[in-house]
Chains A and B, each alone.
Chain A
Amino acid sequence: MTSAEVLTETGAVRPDWSWRRASVPLAVVGAVVGLAVVGWFTTPEFVTYRNMQSIVRSAALIGIIAVTMTGITIAGSFFSLSVSQTAAMAAIGFAAFMSWGWPVWAALLVTFAIAAASGAAQGGAVALGGNPIVVTLAVGAVLFGAGAWLTDNKTVRTGTDASDWIGASRPLGIPTQTWAFVAITVVAATILARTRFGRELTLVGANRLAAAASGLRPGKITVYVFTVSSLGAALAGVFTASQFGQGRLDQFDGADIDSIAAILVGGAAIQGGEGSASRTAVGAVFIAGLQNLMVLRGFSYGVRILLVGAAILVSVSAFTLLRARRRLT
């Protein structure tokens, strides 16, 4: 008998697995399975290989934004309302740099450097005590206004096919966006669950004062998570700009809502301290699958939005109740 087992037997620590601890992940997976079953019985074309591919593809961009934003939620800063604008600005900037004849690496470097700076600035403001929602709302407005001003509210074209491979190629028959989505999810999940930084981040979200008292620097971690989120949004922007050869300001309208929905359906605790990158990825697939199923069923735009809103309300209420019960026992 190992020491861990002894401790478990004596009740000193909780076992690694129990129904109670597994309730949130099970609920997330259950939602996706439920959706697939409903789709299977009601809509034959939903479960075809082709349609599955299209769901994963549409989940990829939202998924990249959502998974990189999960750090913000776990670290206790809710979420960012500026990711749509960051992604759109990255798309516009990348398209503009390419149209000026820059090499691809330079265009990528400058685009990501600007995104990182904007993310770090937002993280800094939040670290100093700014409300994350209001800070990101304000920065989003500034990015949108500045973007419209610089581009005269017009579409910016790359004017070259040098960057097409980033967004339009399909290594092994799978789009680059999907590869990136899977890779980012794996890396983020590993960092969050298996590294010291991931555990520090979780502790900052669970109890900021305790984290500071035990020598961590919550401010620094806040700056990191906002920078990562900004970089993720910029990556989505670069993918879109290189796939369609253009950047437009309204290209990512609604991306912030969809990615927040993915995080919430994925069961991250909104007050921080709990959440997982892989569950957010599953949440993104769920939202994409739900949208896909509703389109196949011919639901109108209004009903589709209404149901996404309902999915958020139901999942958030359910997770809050699940957690409340778990804490009492």
Chain B
Amino acid sequence: MRAIQRVEPTAWARLVLFVAVFVVFSWRDDRFFTTNNVFTIFEGFAFLGLAALAVGVTIIAGELDLSVGSAAAVAGIISVSLVDELGLVPTVIVAVLIGTAYGGVQGYLIYRLRIQSLVFTLGTLIGLRGLAFMISGENTVVMSDLSVAQSVRRQLWIFSPFSLVTVGCFVAVALLLVHTRFGREIYAVGGGRDEAAAAGVPLMRPLVLAFALSGAMAALTGALTSIKSGSAGPAAFETLLLPAATAALIGGVSLLGGRGSVFGIAIGALTLRFINSGLSLGGAPFYILTLATGVVLIVAVVIELLIGRPELRARWRRWRSEGGAGLRRRHQAAA
């Protein structure tokens, strides 16, 4: 549970933000807090949450996977082409296995070549997008049996099978990260790679695992979202990285690596969905959502900068405990 304790100082701020956004929107619009809208929010959460989890895990490992959008697009096209023959569950399993394998190989190569993951995943971001265009023949792929789509988006109170799968993934990844040795290793190599290596943590395993998780989650997002809508386009998910990274960061994942929790990522994804859902109910066009997401991301970065600068924090603490006089005394003593 130490991971949760470590993010404690900012957890309150995030919870306040979360509640404030929720209250503002449900007060401004009575449609906000209805079963149907909460269902819609959870659908959006399912879509965004998995992607945020994918990006978030690699950030915790001290890396960054830029390729989630392209991986999701490829997985979406594969699933939509296969689902008529294989049926729903086997298709999703195949897509996730492909995503896991792709992510694992990517993690291994990043470890092996000692290359910046930023650069490597930029290459795969472009390459997989090309692959998506190739295997789809540059056209939108459509499934013939739309009842399968219905079974993914069927409404069960405020959930759907899609959002239930997402919640399941969050619980599983949370247990993996907090309670297993493999998960702890991801935090260790993210927080201080040299220290972790000196302490005998193998570098390969956590990197492969983090990227494999990222590939699996991206593939699951792509597969379920595409099957839900009954079609998959090669240019889909192009802007997935922005909301995914934003959700992870407002969820308290630190860009310095080694800090963040799955619970925080869930809160982050829900907060961003609240904002988007509230704006959409107000009739805002898509680019206002992009604008809002960008502003939220900037605010998150600025807050992290303020929290991450120990000298600012220490000065603030001294001010609070001793008052201005104490600080002056300390300066005089130092002089």
A145 pairs with B292, CB closer than 8 A: yes
B123 pairs with A153, CB closer than 8 A: no
The reply on A54 being an interface residue by CB < 8 A is: no
CA distance A26 to B116 in the complex (A): 23
B120 pairs with A316, CB closer than 8 A: yes
The reply on A140 being an interface residue by CB < 8 A is: yes
- List the B side residues contacting A131 at CB < 8 Å: 255, 301
- List the A side residues contacting B109 at CB < 8 Å: 317
* CB contact between A144 and one of B127, B131, B290 (< 8 Å): that residue: B290
CA distance A129 to B293 in the complex (A): 21
Hey, which bits of chain A sit against chain B, CB under 8 A? Answer: 78, 125, 128-131, 133-135, 137-146, 148-149, 153, 257, 260-261, 264, 270-271, 300-310, 312-313, 316-317, 320-321, 324
Interface majority SS (helix, strand, loop, mixed), chain B = helix
Interface membership of chain B positions 41-79, coded 1 if the CB is closer than 8 angstroms to chain A and 0 otherwise: 000000000000000000000001010000000000000
Min C-beta distance of A110 to chain B, whole Å: 22
* CB contact between A308 and one of B130, B134, B298 (< 8 Å): that residue: B130
- List the B side residues contacting A137 at CB < 8 Å: 241-242, 245, 297
Min C-beta distance of A159 to chain B, whole Å: 24
Hey, which bits of chain B sit against chain A, CB under 8 A? Answer: 64, 66, 109, 113-116, 118-120, 122-136, 138, 234, 241-242, 245-246, 249, 255, 285, 287-295, 297-298, 301-302, 304-305, 308-309
B133 pairs with A302, CB closer than 8 A: yes
Chain B, Cβ-Cβ closest to A254: B126
CA distance A301 to B126 in the complex (A): 12
CA distance A226 to B138 in the complex (A): 36
Contacts A129-B305, A141-B293, A149-B287 given: A316-B119 contact, CB under 8 Å?
yes
Supply 13 A–B pairs (Cβ within 8 Å), ascending by A: A131-B301, A135-B301, A137-B245, A142-B294, A153-B285, A302-B132, A305-B130, A309-B127, A309-B128, A313-B120, A317-B109, A320-B115, A324-B114
Min C-beta distance of A169 to chain B, whole Å: 34
Contacts A141-B294, A260-B122, A305-B133 given: A134-B127 contact, CB under 8 Å?
no
CA distance A36 to B119 in the complex (A): 26
A307 pairs with B301, CB closer than 8 A: no
Min C-beta distance of B66 to chain A, whole Å: 8
B126 pairs with A309, CB closer than 8 A: yes
Chain A, Cβ-Cβ closest to B115: A320
Chain A, Cβ-Cβ closest to B125: A309
Min C-beta distance of A131 to chain B, whole Å: 4
Interface majority SS (helix, strand, loop, mixed), chain A = helix
* CB contact between B123 and one of A135, A304, A309 (< 8 Å): that residue: A309
- List the B side residues contacting A316 at CB < 8 Å: 115, 119-120, 123
CA distance A317 to B64 in the complex (A): 17
B113 pairs with A320, CB closer than 8 A: yes
* CB contact between B291 and one of A145, A301, A310, A312 (< 8 Å): that residue: A145
Min C-beta distance of A128 to chain B, whole Å: 5
* CB contact between A134 and one of B113, B114, B234, B249 (< 8 Å): that residue: B249
Min C-beta distance of A130 to chain B, whole Å: 5
- List the A side residues contacting B302 at CB < 8 Å: 125, 130
Not counting A137-B242, A305-B133, a sample of 14 additional A-B residue pairs whose C-beta atoms are within 8 angstroms of each other reads A134-B297, A138-B297, A139-B294, A142-B291, A145-B288, A145-B294, A257-B125, A302-B135, A305-B127, A305-B129, A310-B127, A313-B120, A316-B120, A317-B109
CA distance A91 to B4 in the complex (A): 47
A303 pairs with B287, CB closer than 8 A: no
CA distance A297 to B245 in the complex (A): 38
A320 pairs with B131, CB closer than 8 A: no
